[in-house]
Chains A and B, each alone.
Chain A
Amino acid sequence: MLAFLKSDSPPGARRPGKQLRIAIAGNPNSGKTTVFNAITGSRQHVGNYPGVTVEKKTGFCRWGDHELEVVDLPGIYSLTPHSDEEVVARNVLFDEKPDAVIAVIDACSVERNLYLAIQLKELGVPLVLCFNMIDAARSRGYQFELDKLSRRLDAPVVATVGHKEFGISELLDATVNLATASDGRRSLQVNYGHEVEAAIGEVSATLQARDGQLTDVQRRWISLKLVERDEEIRRRIENPQVLEVADRNADRLARLYGEAPEIIIAEGRYNLISALYREAVRGPALERRTKTDRIDAVVTHRYLGIPLFLGLMYLIFQFTFTLGEPVMGWIEAGFGRLGLAVGSFWGVANSALKSLLVDGVIGGVGGVLVFLPNIALLFLAISLLESSGYMARAAFIMDRLMNKVGLHGKSFIPMLIGFGCSVPAIMATRTLDNRRDRLTTMFVIPLISCSARLPIYLLIIPAFFPQRWQAPMLWLVYLIGILLALASAKLLRKAVFKGETSAFLMELPPYKVPTMKAAVLQMWERARLFLKKAGTMILGMSILMWALSSFPRVQPDARSQQRDPSLAAAQQIEHSIAGRAGRLMGPVLAPMGFDWRIGTALIGAFVAKEVFVAQMGIVYSLGEADENSDTLRDKLRRDYTPLVAFCIMLFTLISSPCMATVAIMRRESNSWRWAMAQFWGLTGLAFVLTVLVYQVGSRLGLG
């Protein structure tokens, strides 16, 4: 019982020179990640939206004789297991038992930040307090007596400025000293008043009778949690008598105070904090109107707020597309030349290897890589929004609307990230505390048009629509996605995930000037993920698709009868597996106006949306002998009407999310059922809507 709290080795057993495990804990926006980066030098995602750091991150650093393994815990406000982040953080502290924990405190908001630190101290972990962004706090007129605070909390306190790496060596010294000290695990006892203390005492006595191995600190902590009715801890207690005593005491306290015990206890912590604060921190005589206040007065202004928000979103799209254009041209030209160069090594026209390299590999990957500039720029813009602090304002502005469809203001951020890629977007829904909110958001995210679908639009729109209609057309596609997402969310909340949305308690962090370096690094991290996907999965799929469209090969004697090489190739693709599958799907595709070629490419799009373009390229370059005489767009324009083009976009927008999305959905929802429901639900919706548009459109003569 309670093995999770027992340390493997007695305190002080770790000798100098050994590897030390350090955990960094702190509130969201306390600059935890910048401190982590300053210590480990590793490049991490630095965001400003509460809860970006969902993943557990580890870095390494050498300090003196010690090798440090540093874990960056997710940003949390409390150790109550209220959200996934808090559970993760608590589990690391419980199960991995770090040698020291650094609590990062935003020096501009000491009281709320100390709440977590007090809880860590109560838990008895060897704690170092890191007063981060001390420069900003001092310039706002705060004065700190850190020595006094250190004595009162019985923990070293170090002032730092994470992004300037100020104070980091002092912090590491203090941390290593504490981790190697024999008396590092000192706890702090908050006095919760006579009645609560009596309750803790009784539970503790019962525990001791049952399990004599626990230390005093551990016993007090578990008793406190049991009085707080902490479900996680209750589950770990096997003895019914202990639970019975705890419940009786909790009920008594509730009757006595007319309030739940956990709230009395939370207030008790804040009482201690205000006393500490009054003693050791001095605020400015007059609260100055900060830059953040001034910016917020404009950005969240009653009339200006929404136009500014929409304008900003529009600017981001303009930025993404106009700036990406020339680079795309270079990449396209580069791959074209590479294909020609590689192709010229072969004299024989019909080598399968040549076809694989030029058409399968170079054509497939090149067709996807060409859109990297757009994707990188979009991610850059999102990074800038996050690290500036605007993301939280976006949630603040949008919550009313999101709440109307049963979503949470925080759902907006994952949905916005969904414009980049559904995979990180679905992962970002972890910031939502309520499982129903989270599942609803995850469900509708694939309807938000991700950047992988952009290549499809960028291929089709210029091919079928006149210059001045191109931008509005792109807007329309995105808008349809957004509206469908909102409508589906509303429907899901009404039909499947019934219940109240969770509390909207969100910090609006101070604005920061985003550093270009951090934003570019973050963009690189995300673009790298895309590249990795393109490099492995998409390459593999391109080759598979090439194989599907090249085999089985048409009999040589049949070929020799056909003099025209383009027709020979067309015959080949029709003969191939992909061509046959495309034809097999014919009856299903026909009501949407799609032919077997689109069907073949859609098979690719099920694997990853952007493969659609690569597949169309392969289908056409194999079907035509002279692949450089005409661009893909011209070929498309020749074969399809603008209505069919629109239907392609509509179908790829709505239909089944890509394989990576299905995989992440499975992981995040922890069930194949949800992942499959999403896959088939969206595909069904896409089919119904596309059939509707095509049939109505062609009746109206739009085809």
Chain B
Amino acid sequence: MEIPDKLTASLEDYLKTIARITADKQAARAKDIAGRLNVNMSSVTGALRALADRGLVNYAPYEYVTLTEQGTEVAREVVRRHEGIRDFLVGVLALNEDVADKAACDMEHSISPDVLERIIRLADYIEICPRTGASWIKEFKEYCDNPAREDDCEQCLTVCLQDYRERKVHSDEDDATLDRLSPGTKAKVVLVSGDRATRRRMTEMGLTPGTLIEVERVAPLGDPMAVKVKGYHLSLRKSEARTVTVEHLK
């Protein structure tokens, strides 16, 4: 794939918007794009021409706009950057969603891949490291709201150590299994255990190690559950889901 010239911030926004509209509907109209970005039609037309020149969108005046293969690829990258930054702003800097979303829109265009990578890894690190974690971020938020308060650092560290030990015991005992995931969570299959016939069936239905899955829903009576795997919907009982070890993805 040839690499397109670096896009301007606004063109990236256009691409992202088109990808979002096409995710909701079949194809985007210039009017929808103008509405979402809150700009006038002539700007949209200009931007679409620029994108079409770069081979990123299929566009002719008065027609529906769709992304080309290359455009899809670029849009996916823009969306990924946006989500990475937004998650960092919400999860680590404890900003509220709206503020984070807006800020992410501004930052995503200028951030370099290396910096983004580090930001994402920092967010992961904070989550894993016993000295930080979710409670640390909560503390940080409270500190932001009320900078004057005093902390008992020694006690805090003791709690950290306790948490760490508990967590260690816990993770040794049982990894996350599919049956424990709640609807909407995404995960990666690590291992399928259970009896041979069932294991084989699950493998054949596409639950192979490394496969990305998403828990979609649990049946009204609490069992079985429906999981999206390899583009289709699979239902399985919780007792079977228990044999699938997964890695929870954020």
A interface residues (Cβ-Cβ under 8 A, vs B)? 77-78, 80, 82, 108-112, 115, 139, 141, 143, 260, 262-263, 266-267, 270-271, 282-289, 292-293, 296-297, 300-303, 305-306, 392, 396-397, 399-401, 403, 409, 502-510
**Given A263-B203, A292-B233, A504-B235, A141-B223 contact (CB < 8 Å):** no
Closest 7 CB pairs of A and B: A400-B221, A305-B220, A286-B23, A508-B233, A109-B232, A111-B230, A266-B203
CB distance from A599 to the nearest CB of B (A): 44
Q: Would you give 24 A-B contacts (Cβ < 8 Å), ordered by A?
A: A115-B204, A260-B200, A266-B203, A266-B204, A282-B69, A284-B23, A286-B23, A286-B76, A296-B233, A297-B217, A300-B219, A300-B220, A302-B218, A397-B220, A399-B219, A399-B221, A399-B237, A409-B224, A505-B236, A505-B240, A506-B235, A507-B233, A508-B232, A508-B234
- Residue pair B206, A285 in contact (C-beta under 8 Å): no
- Residue pair B79, A286 in contact (C-beta under 8 Å): yes
**Given A267-B208, A288-B23, A506-B203 contact (CB < 8 Å):** no
- For residue A142, which residue of chain B has the nearest CB? B231
Q: Is B201 an interface residue (CB 8 A)?
A: yes
Known interface pairs A109-B231, A263-B203; 17 further A-B residue pairs with C-beta atoms within 8 A, sorted by A's residue number = A108-B231, A112-B205, A112-B231, A263-B196, A267-B208, A270-B203, A270-B208, A270-B211, A285-B67, A286-B23, A300-B220, A305-B219, A392-B235, A401-B221, A503-B237, A505-B205, A509-B233
CB distance from B11 to the nearest CB of A (A): 15
CB distance from B6 to the nearest CB of A (A): 19
Q: State A476–B223 Cα separation when bound (angstroms).
A: 28
Q: State A598–B22 Cα separation when bound (angstroms).
A: 68
- Residue pair B224, A400 in contact (C-beta under 8 Å): yes
Q: State A109–B199 Cα separation when bound (angstroms).
A: 21
Q: Which residues of A contact B221 (CB under 8 A)?
A: 306, 397, 399-401
- Residue pair B226, A396 in contact (C-beta under 8 Å): yes
Q: Which residues of A contact B235 (CB under 8 A)?
A: 392, 396, 399, 409, 504-508
Q: State A509–B219 Cα separation when bound (angstroms).
A: 16
- For residue B77, which residue of chain A has the nearest CB? A285
- For residue B66, which residue of chain A has the nearest CB? A141
Q: Which residues of A contact B192 (CB under 8 A)?
A: 263
CB distance from A250 to the nearest CB of B (A): 12
Q: Which residues of A contact B30 (CB under 8 A)?
A: none
Q: State A481–B223 Cα separation when bound (angstroms).
A: 25
Q: State A141–B20 Cα separation when bound (angstroms).
A: 12
- Residue pair B226, A78 in contact (C-beta under 8 Å): no
Interface string of B226-246 (1 = CB under 8 A from A): 100111111111001000000
Q: Is B132 an interface residue (CB 8 A)?
A: no
Q: Which residues of B contact A270 (CB under 8 A)?
A: 203, 206, 208, 211
Q: Is B114 an interface residue (CB 8 A)?
A: no
**Given A77-B205, A284-B23, A303-B220 contact (CB < 8 Å):** yes
Q: State A509–B234 Cα separation when bound (angstroms).
A: 9
CB distance from B18 to the nearest CB of A (A): 9
Q: State A2–B220 Cα separation when bound (angstroms).
A: 50
Q: State A9–B222 Cα separation when bound (angstroms).
A: 56
Q: State A78–B224 Cα separation when bound (angstroms).
A: 23
- Residue pair A503, B202 in contact (C-beta under 8 Å): yes
Q: Which residues of A contact B75 (CB under 8 A)?
A: 285
Q: Which residues of B contact A510 (CB under 8 A)?
A: 233
**Given A396-B219, A508-B233, A115-B224 contact (CB < 8 Å):** no
CB distance from A38 to the nearest CB of B (A): 23
Q: Is B19 an interface residue (CB 8 A)?
A: yes
Q: Is B209 an interface residue (CB 8 A)?
A: yes
Q: Is B42 an interface residue (CB 8 A)?
A: no
Q: State A652–B197 Cα separation when bound (angstroms).
A: 41
- Residue pair A504, B224 in contact (C-beta under 8 Å): yes
Q: State A284–B26 Cα separation when bound (angstroms).
A: 11
CB distance from A127 to the nearest CB of B (A): 19
Q: Which residues of B contact A301 (CB under 8 A)?
A: 220
Q: Which residues of A contact B208 (CB under 8 A)?
A: 266-267, 270-271
Q: Which residues of B contact A289 (CB under 8 A)?
A: 23-24
CB distance from B242 to the nearest CB of A (A): 12
CB distance from A125 to the nearest CB of B (A): 19
Q: Which residues of A contact B20 (CB under 8 A)?
A: 286
Q: Which residues of A contact B73 (CB under 8 A)?
A: 285
Q: Is B198 an interface residue (CB 8 A)?
A: yes
- Residue pair B23, A503 in contact (C-beta under 8 Å): no
Q: State A345–B127 Cα separation when bound (angstroms).
A: 95
CB distance from A610 to the nearest CB of B (A): 36
Which of A262, A305, A503 counts the most B-chain CB atoms under 10 A from its CB? A503
